[in-house]
Structure formats: structure tokens, C-alpha cells
Amino acid sequence: MNTVAPQAAYAARDYKSDVKPVWCPGCGDYSVLSAFTKAFAELGLPPERIAVISGIGCSSRIPAYTNTYGFHGIHGRALALATGLKVARPDLSVFVAGGDGDGFSIGGNHFLHACRRNIDLTYVVMDNRVYGMTKGQPSPTTEPDWDSALSPGGTGLRPFNPLVIALASGANFIARGFSGDPNACAQLIVEAARHPGFSFVEIMSPCVTFRPDQRNWKEMVHDAPVTATADAAKAARRLMTDDGFNLGVLYKGDRAPYQPELKESASIADLEKAFQT
């Protein structure tokens, strides 16, 4: 996504808006916001050359907290919006942010096809395995035995494996981070943005309100013992046997991104005429 050459030295604070986040204290999304702004500074992108697109959910509030172009879209449609934007404005660096519910449930179909199309986007999913904004319903990535008031005894359903599905669907870059290490997350976002094509970064971001058990994630995560591979078959084997806590870049493909040629569909004069009638 290196469509814009770094111009000036920016600091992370240059990308933060004046709006203070309203997430619960302790929420992992604060650190992801910090990782985004650090990554933007590291990429050296002027704020007006960045667009942050989201859907609906706690994590999807991120565009309001960043001082870049942003679009807080409708539920599950962040990738569709971002695809349209990137196709129309390839000069922009487009980042997509959201949660596991937004991305893998209502937005699941868009996720598959965004991976398949391999448009030059960076998609960051803050996965907390729960619908936090709507009071704690199980999401597609929730463990089958997670017992809660809204899912007594657990759902008993096999969770969605986003990384495996991203790989099978054609994503060109796959990584996993943990919000407890914001600097590492920032580094992953930088790498994802620099890698051409559709980059998918899953960030494990605890929901301390509905999933206080996730405070233990900091004891469970560990750096992936292997370096990223460009071999999809090898990556598939690794991801299928992954313990879910491996952090780092796990796959770096070499597929060329899809960017349709921009064609003028109508002249300015024609458009003006249409408005006059």
C-alpha cells in the first residue's frame, strides 16, 4: 500500500483526533488505536492520504478517533466500502478496522470476497470473541463452551478460523497480533500496509467487560516460532495446527493486487447537465 512516498516526519499524536474514546477502561481496542497511529507515523503518510473505514461495533468506532479521512459505515459492509474507495482512489492508503462480529458474521461474505479480490487494503480485525456493544452475545469466533447469561452452557458451535479462511480465500498477507503489545501490533500494521494486495491482521483485543477471562491472554500469547512463509500449502498446515496464540506474520503471498483501470464514465459537462435537468 505504499502508494504515497513518506514526506514529513509525523508523530503518532498527529493522527489522533480530539474525540476521546468511550470504550470500557481496560479494553484492548485502546492499544490497537495506539498501534494504528504509531503505524501511520512509521509509514510517514500525511493524514489526508489515509482513509480508515469501519462497520459497526465497539472497535468500529476507530475512524472517529483518528485524524484521517474516515467512514463509520454500516454493519458488516466496511470491506465493501473500502473496496469501492480504493478502486476509485488508488492514491489513498485505505485501512479497514472492525471486530469479529462485524467482519466474520454479517460481513463474512465480504471478507471472503475481499480476500479473493486481493485489492490493496489493510484489514485489521480486533477479535475479542464476543459482541461487546450489544451486551455479550457469542460471535463467530467464540469458543463453543463459553458459558454466559446469553449462551448458557456455551453455543457448542465450532468457531470460525479467520486466518485459515483468509488464506483459503486468497488474502496476500496474514498476521496475528495481541493488543497487549501495541508496538508489535504497529509493526504488523506497517508490514501489512507495505505488502501489496489484501492484508489481513487479526489482533487479539480483550473485552474485559464481557470476557474478563481474556485478561489471561497476556500469559498465553507467544511469538510464532517460525518466520512467515510465501508457500500457501505450508501456511495452511501451520494455520490449521495453530494454537491460536502464535503472534507475528504468518503468511506473505506474492499474488499481484487487483486494481481495475479507472475509466471516465461521463464527462464533467455530462454530469453538470444531469444535475440541471
What is the binding site for other proteins (CB under 8 A)?
A: 11-12, 20-28, 30-31, 34, 38, 41-42, 135-136, 149-150, 179-184, 186-187, 190, 206, 208-210, 214-215, 217-218, 223
Tell me the three cell numbers of residue 109.
Answer: 461474505
Please give the full DSSP string across 38-58, using - where no structure is assigned. HHHHHHT--GGGEEEEE-SSS
Q: Which is nearer to other proteins, 111 or 217 (CB)?
A: 217
Please give the full DSSP string across 129-182, using - where no structure is assigned. SSBTTTT-B--TTS-TT--BTTBTT---PPPP-HHHHHHHHT-SEEEEEETT-H
Identify the three-state secondary structure at position 109. Answer: helix
Tell me the three cell numbers of residue 127.
Answer: 477479535
Within 10 angstroms of residue 168's Cβ, the number of other Cβ atoms is 15
Q: Which is nearer to other proteins, 23 or 173 (CB)?
A: 23
Q: Distance between CA atoms of 143 and 50, rounded to whole angstroms?
A: 35
CB of 150 to other proteins, least distance (A): 6
Candidates 245, 189, 250, 185; CA nearest to 216 is 245
CB of 149 to other proteins, least distance (A): 6
Q: Which is nearer to other proteins, 100 or 181 (CB)?
A: 181
Q: Which is nearer to other proteins, 118 or 199 (CB)?
A: 199
CB of 200 to other proteins, least distance (A): 20
Q: Distance between CA atoms of 252 and 61, rounded to whole angstroms?
A: 29
CB of 181 to other proteins, least distance (A): 5
Q: Which is nearer to other proteins, 56 or 184 (CB)?
A: 184
CB of 206 to other proteins, least distance (A): 5
CB of 116 to other proteins, least distance (A): 31
Within 10 angstroms of residue 113's Cβ, the number of other Cβ atoms is 15
Three-state SS for 123-136 is EEEEECCCECCCCC
Identify the three-state secondary structure at position 242. Answer: coil
Q: Which is nearer to other proteins, 60 or 205 (CB)?
A: 205
Tell me the three cell numbers of residue 267.
Answer: 464527462
Whether 93 and 139 have beta carbons less than 8 Å apart is answered as no
CB of 196 to other proteins, least distance (A): 22
